[in-house]
Amino acid sequence: MTDASQTAAAPVPLSARLDRVGVVVALIAIVGMDWQPFATLKPNRLVSGQGLGLGSALPTFWAAIGIGILSLATILAVLRTGARLRLATGIVSLLMLALLIGLVPAHVVPPDNSFARVSPGAGFWLMALAFAVLTTDAIAKLKLGPLARLLLLAAAIAATALILGSGHWDGLSILKEYATNADKFWREGRQHILLAVASLAAAIVVGLPLGIACHRHATLRGVTLPVLNIIQTVPSMAMYGLMIVPLGLFAASFPIAAQLGIRGIGTAPALIALFLYSLLPVVANTVVGLAEVRRSVVEAAEGMGMTKHQRLMQVELPLALPVILTGIRIVLVQNIGLVTIAALIGGGGFGTFVFQGIGQAATDLVLLGAVPTIALAFTAAVLLDAVIELTERRRL
């Protein structure tokens, strides 16, 4: 008892009362709030604009509320507080930012001016980053189960959809770009997902049997994995370029291929390149997953009288599944990013907006391509992580 009371009486050092992640979050948030413009106002879509601080971008009332809440959140982030409170702080701050940025256009642009553009400034993005880190850190600290994480993801998607649907952000530049490109946006979105998922599906169809064969035959493994490794090191830009000539020749010599849409540029080379990149993670993880199945379990299956096929389907593959799914997660997230570059060879996808935007020096158009790509990759990662954890539960 005396020991405990002495410990309690000792002064707690300052470092013990601060949260390490929180300090980083706070530093980023403070830089974003005090030194960087919250929003940018441009006379039209192409010229560079003028930065607006929180005070000048918003009506006084909202500016005061915003500064108050975000400052309080910053202080809460620094202090050692419970994970639930941190999660609530992060979510409230992100919602606050979403609300505030939507209020800017009406405040700074005269109603009759349709050329002026308002976009989120560096301050907004820094704060959004800071509080997103706070939120994800809190989620990690809460050690939520896979289903709870999926629920949070669904809630985040629903909240975003709700804000977009309400029209609260319609005054922002990126949504004005969307308004003029709405049809194309959904078409390229579909194409983006199609390219990422179709190349993944092809990689699974080819990679899984190849991985199983590599597991069984050391010689095949010794040849296959190094080759796939080399493919993986080819820069994506070069890979797309390399596809053009052989596929062009192929289409020229086989008219049927050309009729099917196989050409040097477009969807076909994009799919093939993505497929090639996807093979290594699928094959390698299949090999590793199968190799990790305990020897005694495989031997028991054999000793019970299972055939090779029964052993594979009933014992080896189910036990290797979490590792194989990890490979598939890597591929899907990687592909969603790589598809962006496929736009360069006419493959389509959100990359179309990115490269168009770069060509026109229209940052907002770049964002129209980049933001949904990041959101897609993030969603895929959270989704597959949850699935992997669910399959792992029954594994020793």
Residues that bind another protein (CB under 8 A): 294, 296-297, 299-307, 310, 315, 318-319, 394-396
Distance CA(117)–CA(170), nearest Å, equals: 11
Closer residue to another protein, CB minimum distance, 285 or 373: 285
Query: Exposure string (b/e) for 44-53, b if CB count within 10 Å is 16 or more?
Result: ebeeebeebb
Distance CA(96)–CA(68), nearest Å, equals: 11
Closer residue to another protein, CB minimum distance, 49 or 146: 146
Distance CA(54)–CA(73), nearest Å, equals: 16
Closest CA to 320 of 298, 348, 345: 298
Nearest approach, Cβ of residue 306 and another protein (Å): 7
Q: State the DSSP code for 170.
A: T
Nearest approach, Cβ of residue 254 and another protein (Å): 46
Closer residue to another protein, CB minimum distance, 143 or 309: 309
Could you tell me the two tokens for 46? Answer: 């192409």
Handedness of CA 173, 170, 136, 274 (dihedral sign): negative
| Angle (CA) 315 320 325, round 5° | 135
Q: Decide if 286 contacts 327 (C-beta within 8 A).
A: yes
Nearest approach, Cβ of residue 324 and another protein (Å): 14
Nearest approach, Cβ of residue 213 and another protein (Å): 21
Rounded to the nearest 10 degrees, the angle between the axes of helix 363-392 and helix 173-216 is 40
Closer residue to another protein, CB minimum distance, 101 or 323: 323
Nearest approach, Cβ of residue 308 and another protein (Å): 9
Q: State the DSSP code for 11.
A: P
Closer residue to another protein, CB minimum distance, 242 or 297: 297
Closer residue to another protein, CB minimum distance, 216 or 395: 395
- Strand-pairing partners, residue 64, are none
Distance CA(196)–CA(334), nearest Å, equals: 9
Handedness of CA 177, 181, 186, 191 (dihedral sign): negative
Distance CA(368)–CA(362), nearest Å, equals: 10
Closer residue to another protein, CB minimum distance, 180 or 307: 307
Nearest approach, Cβ of residue 316 and another protein (Å): 10
How many residues in total does the chain contain? 396
Closer residue to another protein, CB minimum distance, 264 or 322: 322
Nearest approach, Cβ of residue 297 and another protein (Å): 5
Closer residue to another protein, CB minimum distance, 288 or 321: 321
Could you tell me the two tokens for 208? Answer: 């899984």
Could you tell me the two tokens for 24? Answer: 């980083």
Nearest approach, Cβ of residue 310 and another protein (Å): 7
Q: How far is CA 201 from CA 273, 334, 335, in A?
A: 14, 14, 11
Nearest approach, Cβ of residue 215 and another protein (Å): 18
